[in-house]
Structure 1
Amino acid sequence: MRPYTYAAARSVGEALERAGDGSAYLAGGTTLVDLMKLEVVSPAHVVDITAVPLRGIRRGPRGLFIGAMERMADVAGHHLVAEPYPVVAEALRQSASPQIRNMATIGGNLLQRTRCGYFRDPATPCNRREPGSGCPAVDGHNRSHAILGTSDACVATHPSDLAVALTALDARLSLRGAGGERTLRLADFYRLPGGTPHLENELRPGELITGVTVPALPWARRSTYVKVRDRRSYEFALCSAAVAVHVKGGVIREARVAAGGVGTRPWRLPAVEEALRGRPMRTETFEAAVAHAADGARPLARNAFKPALLRRTIVRALVHLAG
């Protein structure tokens, strides 16, 4: 780990004042500290925001608000989350390990960096780490890599389970920086890699995520998160599906579907949603609706199984919701 300076902030304003070029915010530290130890990132200045009052889980006219400094474990078990939005609680409970969930924050989870082995190894080239150096994953070990939203410059998957669930529910981020406050749809927050994979999101220099708002969707009680991985704990998704449906009279009136483990960002699937609307809630409907789930996919040598796995994972989630 390289030398750095440290400061602690007790308010958002103080945090913004102490941040600058080459600085990083420290919350739970479950991602940042690891990357600093590996020297994948080497901020010159670290601003500790653990004492900044960005907490709270409350329901309001716009929906459910979750403060950015809330711990993952606390959010997963909260009655305003687990009952009205089970897809969010399930995504959190299937993330990382119990120890990490007790430390990691909601804001930090949404900003975690890819788990691509090439990105996390400073001895190898990586366009996300060093723009223009290349992407060895394209022709290398790419079983866990993305098939949707990729480019010749990067094929790394987005790691957050929570972000998939929140994307399906059309959640919005509250952001605060030197220029004031703003809100942004989570689906618009993450960038496709294109030719600039080192620019991962729309966060401005020194800006903080202060909270997340999930729209009021009474029917989101019928939702679930299915995660396919190589082991049951502390493993990232090969494929996942966040699904919520509104069913009336046995017919799907509304559907939200997003996928993880297959895209360079959480991947919303509007074509699948449209194919479900107005159709009966049964297996034949599900199997027909997922036919176009992997449209536009670019499988690599070692992950050509992912388009079929994506379709099966979505069907599995829908069958679960059908009971």
Structure 2
Amino acid sequence: MRAISYTRATDVGDAVAAVTGDPGSSYLAGGTTEVDLLRLDVLRPHRLVDINRLPLAGIENRSDGGLVIGALARMSEVAQARAVVERFPMLSQALLLGASAQLRNMASMGGNLMQRTRCAYYRDTESACNKRVPGSGCSALEGVHRGHAILGTSEHCIATHPSDAAVALVALDAVVHVEGTHGSRGIPVDDFFLLPGETPEREHPLTPGELITAIEVPPAPVARGSCYLKVRDRESYEFALASAAAALALEDGVIREVRLALGGVATKPWRARRAEEALVGQRADADVFARAAGVELAPAVTRPMNAFKAELARRTLVRALLTAAAQGGGTA
């Protein structure tokens, strides 16, 4: 058994300084992912800096209709917040579908964004994994890859990103606010998640010790009629095979604004920009939705075990769009 020291931080600046000054340190929030990885010997920090007492758990309603969600706000709290349910239902639904009730009560919003892939090869220290050991190879390429990604992949990694909430946040153009030794900055959430490319071990553009402090969700009237659809092997406590966040603003049946993102099929939460571009100005009907979904999935790179995901993702996206349209859409 390895010894791990433990520190409890009560100030953001002290927490950042502690982890920045000691590369072997790691932040600890809800611990719903990190503790598992510690037990599996995948993560090996020699010190945990507990940040649960930091004043980062609030949900601020902005006068313009946006929200600022503290990084330590729990998933269950955010999912049930009235402003989230009414203004951003796709986010509420994604959070409720993202984990069991017990995990939602513990898991933090910042930790949800930072969670690591559920790829079995990443979690098996005997297997080659470029995320865990850069340059060691990717066992999934020739192994069991049924649940792996078909979008945003590289020859070095095909692991899917596991977060449901991040899919909704990407569709909502959220901004991740972080604090480091050089001050604070905001990172558009779509830029917060990096494609694997040749460096799959680097998943975020954070500098050592930078800490997520808040997630800003800008006003989006279009999101009031949004939805999140998740398709999985079983109805509860399972990761997505394919998921879709969808929001539409309609005017006389014509799409004036659309927000789309996919989960379960890509190496990062996937903003479906090709489909968005194909839909604006078109009639809101199933045939139009199907063509747009086909445009989005055209670049998919499939393998024998996960080839079904391309069609599943198309159907999931179409169904999410039909659901959003049936709800009347939001406001452009």
TM-score range for the pair, normalised by the shorter chain length: over 0.9
In 1: Cα distance, 2:149 partner to 2:37 partner? 21
Q: Shift in Å at residue 288 of structure 1?
A: 2.1
Give the one of 50, 53, 57 matched to 1:51: 53
Does 2:142 correspond to 1:133?
no
Note the 1:303-318 alignment, pairs <5 A: 303-318=306-321
Q: Which amino acid aligns with 2:57?
A: R
Does 2:278 correspond to 1:275?
yes
- 1:200 is aligned to 203
Q: Shift in Å at residue 87 of structure 1?
A: 0.3
Q: Which amino acid aligns with 1:26?
A: L
In 2: Cα distance, 1:43 partner to 1:244 partner? 41
- 1:120 is aligned to 123
In 2: Cα distance, 1:288 partner to 1:36 partner? 45
- 1:105 is aligned to 108
- 1:22 is aligned to 24
> Structure 1 pair 224/156, CA: closer, same or farther in 2 (3 Å)?
same
2:297 is paired with a residue whose SS is: coil
Q: Which amino acid aligns with 2:25?
A: S
Q: Describe the superposition over 1:241-277 as per-residue Cα deviations: whole angstroms up to 9, x where unpaired.
A: 0111111222110001110111100111111011111
| Structure 1 unmatched ranges of 5 or more | none
1:241 is paired with a residue whose SS is: strand
Give the one of 291, 297, 300 matched to 2:300: 297
In 1: Cα distance, 2:115 partner to 2:290 partner? 33
In 2: Cα distance, 1:288 partner to 1:148 partner? 18
Note the 1:154-169 alignment, pairs <5 A: 154-169=157-172
- 1:150 is aligned to 153
For these two proteins, the number of residue pairs brought into alignment is 323
1:219 is paired with a residue whose SS is: helix
In 2: Cα distance, 1:215 partner to 1:246 partner? 17
- 2:237 is aligned to 234
Comparing 104-113 with 186-195, which one deviates more in the overlay? 186-195
Give the one of 30, 48, 68 matched to 2:71: 68
RMSD, aligned α-carbons: 1.0
Q: Shift in Å at residue 62 of structure 1?
A: 7.6
Does 2:20 correspond to 1:6?
no
1:42 is paired with a residue whose SS is: coil
Q: Which amino acid aligns with 1:119?
A: Y
In 2: Cα distance, 1:42 partner to 1:291 partner? 42
Q: Shift in Å at residue 17 of structure 1?
A: 2.2
Kept in 1, the 8 Å contact 2:243–2:316? The answer is yes
In 2: Cα distance, 1:100 partner to 1:41 partner? 20
In 2: Cα distance, 1:54 partner to 1:132 partner? 37
- 1:210 is aligned to 213
Q: Shift in Å at residue 124 of structure 1?
A: 1.1
Q: Which amino acid aligns with 2:199?
A: T
Q: Which amino acid aligns with 2:237?
A: Y
Q: Shift in Å at residue 284 of structure 1?
A: 2.1
Give the one of 253, 257, 260 matched to 1:254: 257
Q: Which amino acid aligns with 2:321?
A: L
- 2:43 is aligned to 41
2:200 is paired with a residue whose SS is: coil
| Structure 2 unmatched ranges of 5 or more | 327-332
- 2:228 is aligned to 225
Kept in 2, the 8 Å contact 1:174–1:183? The answer is yes
Q: TM-score, with normalisation over the residues of structure 2?
A: 0.95
In 2: Cα distance, 1:62 partner to 1:177 partner? 28
In 2: Cα distance, 1:76 partner to 1:229 partner? 20
In 1: Cα distance, 2:149 partner to 2:317 partner? 17
In 2: Cα distance, 1:164 partner to 1:321 partner? 16
In 1: Cα distance, 2:321 partner to 2:193 partner? 26
2:76 is paired with a residue whose SS is: helix
Stretches of 4+ aligned residues off by more than 4 angstroms: none
In 2: Cα distance, 1:290 partner to 1:151 partner? 22
2:122 is paired with a residue whose SS is: coil
Q: Which amino acid aligns with 1:16?
A: V
Q: Describe the superposition over 1:47-75 as per-residue Cα deviations: whole angstroms up to 9, x where unpaired.
A: 00010010211222482110000000000
Give the one of 7, 11, 34 matched to 1:32: 34
Identical aligned residues as a percent: 53
Kept in 1, the 8 Å contact 2:67–2:217? The answer is yes
